[in-house]
Amino acid sequence: MPLYENVFIARQDISGAQVDALADGFTQLIAEQGGEVKKREYWGLRNLAYRMNKNRKGHYVLFNIEAPAPAIAELERTMRINEDVIRYLTLRVDALEEAPSAVMQTRGSREDRPRRSDRDRYGEGRERFGEPREGGERPPGERPAGEAPAPAIAADETPASVIAPDEAAPDEKVEA
């Protein structure tokens, strides 16, 4: 039987229990059509990239499905009809991944990081005048010691080739 991955986004104003009931209904629908949901992951309430149907957030759910094509067509038809589902995407895959998805793997990494203080967040107290930065960094435009700046042309030293003939001084004759 063909293998599929399906992700759907449910509205933000329904509860987590209602999302589970919705996912259970979709799982039962697949089973009635002769398929099987191999894996189901609830990714939580996440921010959307842009507003969809006046929603800024959505409950994300992933299914790994082994089912015939008519079962997937019926699942998508049911998702289109259900007003709690904002968007869905179904992809046919060669093999299903048994490991947690990339979204679930990155969820735990936030707790592993050390907590930042306000000073670290806003860059205060990181450097003092006359002291080098940590890691040898320097702000843009700062040159290392010993490197001379490029010579600049003063406003009163503009070369004659730059001045257009109509801008020439009134006492000078311009030959055409």
Assigned domain for 84 exists? yes
Q: Is the pTM of this model over 0.75?
A: no
The one-character DSSP state at 101 is P
Task: Please indicate, yes or no, if residue 70 is contained in any of the structural domains.
Answer: yes
Residue-wise pLDDT tens digits, 25-81: 999 999 999 999 999 999 889 899 999 888 899 999 999 999 999 999 999 999 999
pLDDT value for 130: 60
Give the C-alpha separation, 29 to 79, whole Å. Answer: 11
> Would residue 151 count as lying in a domain?
no
pLDDT at 99: 75
> What CA–CA distance (Å, rounded) separates 35 from 27?
9
Secondary structure (3-state) at 65: strand
Q: Does any domain span residue 148?
A: no
Please name which of 14, 12, 33, 34 lies closest in space to residue 22, comparing C-alpha atoms: 14
Domains in the chain, number: 1
Q: How far is CA 96 from the centre of its chain?
A: 25
d(CA 123, CA 103): 30
Average the pLDDT over 124-138 and give the result. Answer: 59
Domain assignment present for residue 88? The answer is yes
Find the largest Cα–Cα distance for the chain: 98
Domain carrying residue 62: 3-95
- Quote the DSSP letter at residue 50: E
- On whether residue 16 sits in a domain, the answer given is yes
Q: What percentage of the chain carries pLDDT values higher than 70?
A: 60
**Does the residue 139 lie in any domain?**
no
What percent of the chain clears pLDDT 90, i.e. is strictly above it? 46
Within-domain flag for 125:
no
Query: Residue 21 maps to which CATH number?
Result: 3.30.70.60
E strand or H helix at 87: strand 85-93
Query: What is residue 98's predicted lDDT score, i.e. its pLDDT?
Result: 80
Which has the minimum average pLDDT: 31-45, 107-121, 155-169? 155-169
